[in-house]
Amino acid sequence: MTTLNGQILGQAERAARAVLDRLLDQDGIDFHRWVALNATNGAPVPGPALTARLAAGLKVAEAEAAVAVEQLTAAGLLADTGAGVEHTAAGAARFQQLRAAVGEVTTRLYGGIPADDLAVAGRVLQLVTARANAELAA
């Protein structure tokens, strides 16, 4: 039995991220812009709140997070409608296309793993994430 440690966690994250990056790269979207598209799916998000959310989630400076939003806006995929930043029609279509492709890859990566194992892994990783975030905040 393998015990979870930082090396195993890092290897899994880097391998899964490399698969995601390759998929996104085929569509000309980088990871930060993918996260921004995810964050704006469903409802408008006020610009400052979006930038803060992206910066916190990506562990980057707000200026770096703002670049992703600016790039998506310049590409016509996001717009500030006054109610907040949200997908344009083109952005919604692109997001759905990418989301479907990511879903297919996710199914291949997680397929065949028992649901109970996935649930335990999810709980453990949420706890590790919370503790790491607390360390960063200290």
Q: Which CATH number goes with the domain that contains 84? A: 1.10.10.10
- Is residue 45 situated within a structural domain? yes
Residue 3 has a pLDDT of 87
Average pLDDT value for the chain: 95
pLDDT-derived band at 2 (thresholds 50, 70, 90) equals confident
- Is residue 11 situated within a structural domain? no
Q: Tokens representing 116? A: 């109970």
Q: Which residues span the domain enclosing 132?
A: 17-137
Residue 88 neighbours by CB under 8 Å, 6+ apart: 76, 77, 78, 79
pLDDT one-digit tens code per residue, 114-124:
999 999 999 99
Residue 81 neighbours by CB under 8 Å, 6+ apart: 44
Would the pLDDT of 1 be above 80? Answer: no
pLDDT-derived band at 18 (thresholds 50, 70, 90) equals very high
- Is residue 1 situated within a structural domain? no
Residues 66, 71: Cα–Cα separation, whole Å: 9
Percent of all residues in the chain with a pLDDT value above 70, rounded to a whole number: 100
pLDDT one-digit tens code per residue, 71-104:
999 999 999 999 999 999 999 999 999 999 999 9
Question: How many domains does the chain fold into?
Answer: 1
Would the pLDDT of 4 be above 90? Answer: no
